[in-house]
């Protein structure tokens, strides 16, 4: 009897763990959960949104990226308006921001060397999920620490961009 109870507890624990993992990693992407805090000022967000509206272009986002993040499924694409800027420091670094439809927030991407980092944020630029990879290959979920570090860099870059605009 005791052995059966132990097995039931183990099974319940494994089921709960599986449920948690599926909730944390929907569609294979990694959702990052931490306290939401305002990352850019209202003025900075306004300047970024103005750059997207005034100088951006209408683009389709890769279905691979949106499927991994859980924004779409079955190879659907999302069209949105996006703005790209070259990093003035050189090295062919490109920073992009995509305003997602239906108030789903933003995608922020950073292309450097042969790598790409992609961050999905809410409408306040608070990080939701992150991907990383090599150009031309399928990206994968970023580790929690890598996502925090990389997104912190992107926040500073976009804050500086917005303050100079």
pLDDT on residue 131 = 96
Assigned token pair, 129: 């999920």
pLDDT on residue 23 = 36
pLDDT in tens, 65-113: 999 999 999 988 899 999 999 988 877 899 999 999 999 999 999 999 8
Distance of CA 157 to the CA centre of its chain: 16
Q: Where are the domains of the chain?
A: 29-164
| Percent of all residues in the chain with a pLDDT value above 90, rounded to a whole number | 64
pLDDT in tens, 134-154: 988 999 999 988 998 999 999
Distance CA 110, CA 94 (A): 6
- Collapse the DSSP code of 38 into the 3-class scheme (helix H, G, I; strand E, B; otherwise coil) and give the result: coil
Distance CA 110, CA 160 (A): 15
The whole-chain average pLDDT of the chain stands at: 81
Distance CA 29, CA 22 (A): 10
* Strand ordering across the sheet containing 127-134: 57-61, 78-86, 94-99, 106-112, 115-121, 127-134, 140-141
Distance CA 120, CA 129 (A): 5
Least confident of 10-14, 109-113, 144-148, 160-164: 10-14
């Amino acid at each position: 009897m005791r052995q059966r109870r132990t097995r039931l507890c183990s099974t319940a624990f494994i089921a709960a763990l599986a449920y948690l993992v599926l909730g944390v990693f929907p569609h294979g992407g990694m959702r990052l959960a931490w306290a939401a805090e305002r990352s850019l000022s209202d003025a900075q967000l306004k300047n970024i949104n103005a750059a997207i509206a005034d100088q951006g272009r209408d683009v389709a986002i890769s279905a691979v990226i949106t499927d991994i993040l859980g924004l779409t499924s079955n190879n659907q694409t999302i069209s949105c308006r996006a703005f790209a800027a070259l990093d003035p420091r050189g090295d062919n670094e490109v920073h992009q921001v995509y305003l997602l439809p239906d108030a789903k927030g933003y995608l922020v991407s950073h292309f450097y060397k042969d790598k790409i980092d992609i961050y999905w944020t809410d409408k306040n630029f608070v990080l939701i999920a992150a991907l990383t990879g090599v150009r031309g290959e399928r990206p994968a979920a970023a580790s929690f620490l890598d996502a925090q570090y990389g997104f912190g860099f992107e926040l500073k870059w976009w804050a500086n961009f917005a303050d100079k605009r």
